[in-house]
Amino acid sequence: MMDFARREFLRLALGTSALPLVTQTASALDYPSRPLRMVVTLPAGLAPDIDARLIAQPLSERLGQSVVVENRPGANGNIGTEFVVKASPDGYTLLLLLAGNAINTALYQNLTFDLTRDIAPVAFVGATSWIMVINPSVPAHNVAEFIAYARANPGKINMASPGTGSPTQLAGELFKMMTGVDFVHVPYRQSYLPDLLGGQVQVAFAAIASLGGYIRDGKLRALGVTTKGRSARLPDVPALDEFVPGYEASGWLGIGAPKRTPDEIVEKLNNDINAVVSDPAVKSKLLSLDVEPKAMSPKAFGKLIADETDKWAKVIKFANIKPD
């Protein structure tokens, strides 16, 4: 009688422990059964928000459920990221991941989460190139001449950025690290463009779309794009890698989800997002926003995040960057 009772207890215990797995599998099979939200860690109207909304509409059509873009800005993107980390891992809360997320992992020492540990990579969307520009008062017409001028005038060149720890500041710090030149970082809370055009600051790394008109009008001089290859938008401008072998600094965006989101859901989202960014109409719109679309598996995207986190941690340590 005692053996029977023990066997019955074990049978019930094992059955109960399997319930979460059964429930999770069942929920993955009928996914999605309600609207999803895609959290953007920046305010509405900025480029990442526009990219997210561009992806959300066709993704909604493929999933048969609304994908609602929800802006949760603050703390340099950490507030929105933490919100997703703490969300239920059921595939209904997604995060627009940006290059800044990888930077923040090394920049902030008191985060309550770890990007590579707590966010599941779902799908890559695309990469964005930046461009190195100088005020025409600087007597340099290419990267080699700029390096020579900077070495001859250490500490006399000011580099503008939209803030300490920003991706474009780190693009400049990487340039300094790889070339041995020195210039002074000047962070701005408002637009630095008036000072760059006026010559108060002499160099900046920035999005091509924001500076293309000034380059064409000769108000700024383009020295190089930050990606490995040249940009289709400015094919006559060399890549910095042509002068500084191995240099590469790109913005990028993709989609993540809370860790422990079921593999079946991650795989479905990956397939659907890859299909969206490969669609000719969506691809054309992304390219017009300086995003080069590219499909990736979750594993490949995870490796990119890990590699970027490690890369920018080294630059942050080299430049001794501390968050404001």
Place of tokens 């000011």: 158
Could you give the C-alpha distances from 266 to 16, 17, 28, 68, 296, in angstroms and in order?
Answer: 26, 24, 10, 18, 12
93 touches 257 (CB < 8 A) = yes
Q: Identify the pLDDT of residue 27.
A: 56
Q: In 10 A of CB 15, how many CB atoms?
A: 10
Q: Identify the pLDDT of residue 231.
A: 82
Please provide the CATH number assigned to the domain covering 129-242: 3.40.190.10
Please provide the CATH number assigned to the domain covering 27-127+251-319: 3.40.190.150
Q: Identify the pLDDT of residue 4.
A: 47
Written as six digits, the tokens of 241 are: 């890698």
Alpha helices in the chain (DSSP H): 2-29, 47-63, 78-85, 99-107, 115-118, 143-152, 167-179, 193-198, 208-216, 263-278, 280-288, 298-319
Q: Tell me the domain boundaries of the chain.
A: 27-127+251-319, 129-242
Q: Identify the pLDDT of residue 229.
A: 84
CA distance 311 to 41: 22
Q: Identify the pLDDT of residue 9.
A: 46
Q: Identify the pLDDT of residue 23.
A: 47
Q: Identify the pLDDT of residue 102.
A: 94
Ordered per-residue pLDDT tens for the chain, 324 residues: 445 445 554 455 455 555 454 444 445 678 999 999 999 999 999 999 999 999 999 999 999 999 999 999 999 999 999 999 999 999 999 999 999 999 999 899 889 999 999 999 999 999 998 999 999 999 999 999 999 999 999 889 999 999 999 999 999 999 999 999 999 999 998 999 999 999 999 999 998 888 888 999 999 999 999 988 888 778 889 999 999 999 999 899 999 999 999 999 999 999 999 999 999 999 999 998 889 999 999 999 999 999 999 999 999 999 999 987
Q: Identify the pLDDT of residue 11.
A: 54
Question: Whose CA is closest to 324, among 130, 146, 75, 48?
Answer: 75
Q: Identify the pLDDT of residue 275.
A: 97
DSSP state of 16: H
Same fold, 27-127+251-319 and 129-242: yes
Written as six digits, the tokens of 206 are: 């920035």
Question: Whose CA is closest to 276, among 124, 153, 104, 75?
Answer: 124
Written as six digits, the tokens of 108 are: 């902030």
- Return the half-sphere exposure (C-beta side, CA atoms, 13 A cut-off) of residue 289: 25
182 touches 176 (CB < 8 A) = yes
